[in-house]
Chain A
């Protein structure tokens, strides 16, 4: 399920700043309620879990349901503590996970 993920975070921040993180994953979020051209239900294929860790600690996570749009967009905030890695993981209903990492420099 390697698809494109867009992560938007500030390049640099001062310690203690609250930074906004925007994420968008290219994914159909197929609800499992639609019928295809052959009259059969299109099988469900959705992202169920989103987790953001900051230097190994979970700071934010989300459970998503089929009501979330295709190409799920999630925005949240975190406190800039130290320079390091923000790791974003999206897991679909088949258990496959896509991981994307972003670096943050904290002055």
Chain B
């Protein structure tokens, strides 16, 4: 036992490290996403850079029924005339079409907070992107695992 600790790398620590690496791989934004979603996001942002942050994305991580998945998006913003969220776009990578919905907000909304329900055809990454009145884009991404996908029954 003392020997194993002395070596610094035990079976347990090696397992923990590899599990941690896997979690990191899933959370990493560099994970390859289908090109169609990237194209649609580029059309939404006009090719401007998107920064991760300021957007809170609430969606169940493990979905039993992909036909109806509640989701909500909140963006940190004062929602005043000079500084507010103008649009919130929601995108997916494995449904037939990459767009889900685009919400147009105004300072009259008071809060940058929207909710809806979407279909999920498969386990995939969902991205929410907010456009601010100053022209910057912010995003949040969530991975969702679906056990019964939508679009299977006719």
Q: Residues of A at under 8 Å CB distance from B?
A: 18, 31, 33-37, 54, 57-70, 72-79, 81
Docked complex Cα distance between A74 and B68 (Å): 13
- Segment of B28-36, B48-56, B98-106, B133-141 engaged in the interface with chain A: B98-106
- Asked if B92 is at the interface of the complex by the 8 Å CB criterion, the answer is yes
Interface residues of B in 95-134 (CB under 8 A from A): 95-97, 99-106, 108-111, 113-119
Closest CB in chain A relative to B31 CB, distance in Å: 20
Whether A66 and B97, one on each chain, are in contact in the complex, defined by CB atoms closer than 8 angstroms, is yes
**Among candidates A31, A62, A78, residue contacting B101 with C-beta atoms closer than 8 Å:** A62
Q: Count the A-B residue pairs with Cβ separation under 8 angstroms: how many?
A: 98
Q: Residues of B at under 8 Å CB distance from A?
A: 67-70, 72, 92, 95-97, 99-106, 108-111, 113-119, 151, 154
Contacts A34-B151, A79-B109 given: A67-B115 contact, CB under 8 Å? no
Question: Which 8 A-B residue pairs are closest in the complex by CB-CB distance?
Answer: A18-B110, A79-B110, A75-B115, A59-B108, A65-B99, A67-B100, A69-B117, A63-B102
Whether B96 and A73, one on each chain, are in contact in the complex, defined by CB atoms closer than 8 angstroms, is no
Contacts A36-B154, A78-B110, A79-B108 given: A62-B102 contact, CB under 8 Å? yes
Whether B113 and A68, one on each chain, are in contact in the complex, defined by CB atoms closer than 8 angstroms, is no
| Chain B binding surface, main DSSP class | strand
Closest CB in chain B relative to A83 CB, distance in Å: 15
Closest CB in chain A relative to B148 CB, distance in Å: 14
Whether B104 and A31, one on each chain, are in contact in the complex, defined by CB atoms closer than 8 angstroms, is no
- Chain B: CB-nearest residue to A37: B154
B100 contacts which chain A residues (CB < 8 A)?
Answer: 65, 67-68
Whether A69 and B119, one on each chain, are in contact in the complex, defined by CB atoms closer than 8 angstroms, is yes
Which residue, A73, A77, A81, has most C-beta atoms of chain B within 10 A? A77
| Extra inter-chain contacts (7) besides given A54-B108, A76-B115, CB under 8 Å | A33-B96, A60-B105, A63-B104, A67-B119, A68-B116, A68-B119, A79-B110
